[in-house]
């Protein structure tokens, strides 16, 4: 499995500037092979990782699950 390391701050800033979602970028990265995407902080410490699936159907399932979990976490903060 291919490993891709991404500086998280720069990645999310680029998404904001380009007004695009990370899921659109992930879809563009797909080539039929799974990839491990590792998000790093400025000190190259691992913040989190995501295994990019090999199919768009699985990517959509992941997007839906992520959205649900993110929404649940936000509602727990209030």
Residue 32 — φ and ψ, nearest 5°?
Answer: 95, -5
> In the prediction, which pLDDT does 45 show?
94
Q: Which domain holds residue 54?
A: 2-77
Q: Using one digit for the tens of pLDDT, what is the confidence trace for 11-24? A: 999 999 999 999 99
Residue 30 has pLDDT above 70, yes or no: yes
Q: How many domains does the chain have?
A: 1
Residue 78 has pLDDT above 90, yes or no: no
């Amino acid at each position: 499995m291919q490993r891709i390391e991404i500086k998280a701050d720069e990645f999310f800033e680029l998404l904001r500037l380009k007004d695009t979602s990370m899921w659109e970028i992930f879809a563009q990265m797909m080539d039929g092979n799974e990839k491990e995407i590792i998000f790093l902080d400025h000190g190259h410490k691992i913040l989190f990782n995501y295994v990019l699936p090999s199919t768009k159907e699985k990517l959509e399932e992941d997007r839906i699950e992520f959205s649900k979990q993110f929404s649940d976490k936000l509602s727990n903060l209030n």
